[in-house]
Amino acid sequence: MCAFQTSHYLEDGTEAPMPRGGKVPSRSAYSYLFPDLADAPDAGCFQGTDDIGTIQRLKEFEKAFDPGNPLFAPPALTFDLPAAYTYFGQFLNHDISAPVGGLLQNLGQVPPVGIIGTANPDGLGKDRRADVATILQHFMNEHARPLSLASLYGDGPGSDDERIKALYEPDGSFHLAKVFPVPPDILAETTKRPANALDHAKNAPDIPRSGLLPLIADRRNDGNLILSQLHLAFLMFHNKAVAKLTTLGASSKAVFTKARDLVTKHYHWLILNDFLPAILSRSVLAKPLADWTPRSLPAWTVPFEFTTAAFRFGHSMVGRSYDYNANFGRENKLADRATLAQLFSFTSARQMGDPWGRIPQLPDHWVIDWDRMTRSDAPANPKDASGRAERIDLVLAPDMLSEAGDARITEQGSILLRNLLRGFHRRMPFGQKLATACGVQILPREKIRAAMPQRPSPSGTYPAKIADALGILDETPAWLYFLCEAKVLEDGTRIGPTASQIIADTILSLLQHHASPVLRNGGTPWHPRDSPLQDMSGKPIESLRSFLLFASHGP
């Protein structure tokens, strides 16, 4: 982001801040794991056609999915992974990559943004694409040190950016707002229920908001309500770290840095020991991830194979509804579930679900119940909403395909098309070529056909039939191929082996550049038992569930 970024750990296990000054990079570069494949003239271009023809085929394929038509949507298939992991993955992605730039921009004339507002670089609407050298020259990562929680901390309380400074209290904790007690008349108007019929989380924390803007370092983390509540949980976890370290004698000058170091250790530990083991292919997990030797990447770079294909599996895991809290869940005080459309609505950009702008903060009956969202229990009736993730496959929730009415749909197409175009414009090789490069057996075309949704759209088109006619079964765009791999080889409950290798290479490379103490580094790796923060029963915080419950309810 701006001038101050954490980069490496000192001998005592605390992370050393990068010094201020002109030599400190404010951004980092992107890269390719397999640059020769990306640089091939026909990379990601269907045989017998050109750039324009390839884009046209991708658009034809999108039509077979009939984005946003709930009548076409196949039934939801969940699996034993709590939904919180879906949104932790989105938070992690935002902490790794914040692209800035464009083919017509001179990055030297684009100042660091400080507050990240969006990450949709120009180019998806173009009918031509650039070569590898031009792409790497014109697109940069706003995070100078990915995986340093810059999306949470920005440049810290000593930032030169007044907007970042305003995120903090004088003691180095985050400034938090309170949820909004909706007046009875507005509540009755919007819910058709009296106030005393609902559960209200009175005076619960919320991220600060001002009009249409969330006052956080990375506004992308207010893109949906669950992600916003997860970002809030990280803020609260940091504040608990500040309070605990202060009681242990940390000075006012040192407490912020020590708290950030501690939160980062917990975060890195969860990534390495909870999140990745829950979602990666078991073929990659055959040996401990702490011993993984990643493919060589330039320091601090994030490969496009990761950002445009392998780590975009989370779109498939998004549920169409959730058992969210007592008001929107199995108790049915207001509804038996919270729909994805509602979760997209309760953000600052959409005026907290109120078109008249009368609700400045999150309504107090919409606070998340992390206990529900971190459990893997299946509902007794499969039709009931749950707190589980949906399977990793080509079946996307209708409101995810259309992003609940996102204005970009008309201009750029559904998220399915945007993912395909993003990969094409970043010169992603077809999935078959990436599998070969990773030493993974290529999926037979009939397996790819079988992984396609098996129901026709209202117009009568079958995705598999259209994919065959367009040549997509033999030359499958990488993002699409990775979803097929997950469906065929892992039954949608894990990512396939090719994408898993790319993800492990990227994240372990970044952790190694951090010299993160959660890795072995020639000694005993850091463990949550070494932390002064313990869960409510006095045990180490060893899972995303215990992290979120501690942040929300712990001492």
* Residue 20, in any domain of the structure: yes
Lowest mean pLDDT among 81-85, 328-332, 406-410: 406-410
pLDDT tens readout for residues 214-258: 999 999 999 999 999 999 999 999 999 999 999 999 999 999 999
Q: Print the domain residue range for 336.
A: 6-553
Q: If pLDDT is split at 50, 70 and 90, which confidence band does 105 have? A: confident
Rounded distance between C-alpha atoms, residue 549 and residue 360, angstroms: 26
* Residue 1, in any domain of the structure: no
User: What CATH code is carried by the domain that includes residue 329?
Assistant: 1.10.640.10
* Amino acid found at 331: E
* Residue 21, in any domain of the structure: yes
Shortest CA distance to 365 belongs to which of 338, 386, 399, 330?
Answer: 338
Identify the pLDDT of residue 15.
42
Checking 39-46 for CB contacts under 8 A at 24+ apart, the result is 39/131, 39/132, 39/427, 40/429, 43/427, 43/428, 43/429, 44/423, 44/424, 44/427, 44/428, 44/429, 44/430, 44/477, 44/478, 45/424, 46/470, 46/471, 46/475
Structure tokens at 522: 């020639």
Structure tokens at 291: 């011993």
Task: Work out the average pLDDT over 384-413.
Answer: 75
Task: Work out the average pLDDT over 317-322.
Answer: 93
pLDDT tens readout for residues 259-294: 999 999 999 999 999 999 999 999 999 989 988 999
* Total-model pTM: 0.93
Domain count within the chain: 1
Q: Could you give the C-alpha distances from 323 to 83, 226, 326, 388, in angstroms and in order? A: 10, 12, 8, 9
* Residue 220, in any domain of the structure: yes
Rounded distance between C-alpha atoms, residue 476 and residue 484, angstroms: 9
Rounded distance between C-alpha atoms, residue 526 and residue 264, angstroms: 11
- Reported in sequence order, the residue ranges of 261-402 that DSSP labels E, i.e. its strands, are 302-303, 321-322, 338-339, 388-390
Does 439 score more than 80 pLDDT? yes
